[in-house]
Amino acid sequence: MTADITDLKRQAAEKAVEFIQSGMVVGLGTGSTAVHAVRAVGRLLQSGALQNVVAIPTSEETTREAQSLQIPLVTFDTHPIIDITIDGADEVAPNLDVIKGLGGALLREAL
């Protein structure tokens, strides 16, 4: 992956994070784009720009990243309604249909 693509993924993720507001339940996706969003959420929580945000990760990989950034994690059992979910697309068709779940998180992402 070139630096240009990586930077575009980071920009997309950080733009998506701008839609998060304090007090929200946030779904955190999995993969090379979503990791940028997880890191941005962590930075905003650490700085105090976001408060009382909890997250539900879509994979063990995302769980570990979120925990390392001290993002409070919850489950569907305690928070069955998610306010916003941020995730990258695995494939986008010319008509903008999106395919998710090419990797190992397929089952968890689909739930």
Q: Could you tell me the residue range of the domain that residue 96 belongs to?
A: 3-110
Residue type, 49: A
Q: For residue 105, what pLDDT is reported?
A: 56
Tokens standing for 4?
């240009």
Q: For residue 101, what pLDDT is reported?
A: 63
- The residue ranking higher by pLDDT, 101 or 89, is 89
For 4, what's the count of Cα atoms within 13 Å in the CB-facing half-sphere? 0
- CATH code, domain with 12: 3.40.50.1360
Q: What's the domain count of the chain? A: 1
Mean pLDDT of the chain: 89
CA-nearest of 91, 88, 48, 40 to 66 is 40
Is residue 89's pLDDT more than 90? no
Give tens-digit pLDDT for 6-33: 999 999 999 999 999 999 999 999 988 9
**Contact by Cβ (8 Å): 25, 55:** yes
CA-nearest of 60, 23, 55 to 38 is 55
Give tens-digit pLDDT for 21-78: 999 999 999 988 999 999 999 999 999 999 999 999 999 999 999 999 999 999 999 9
Residues identified as active-site: 109
Residue entry with tokens 């650490």: 46
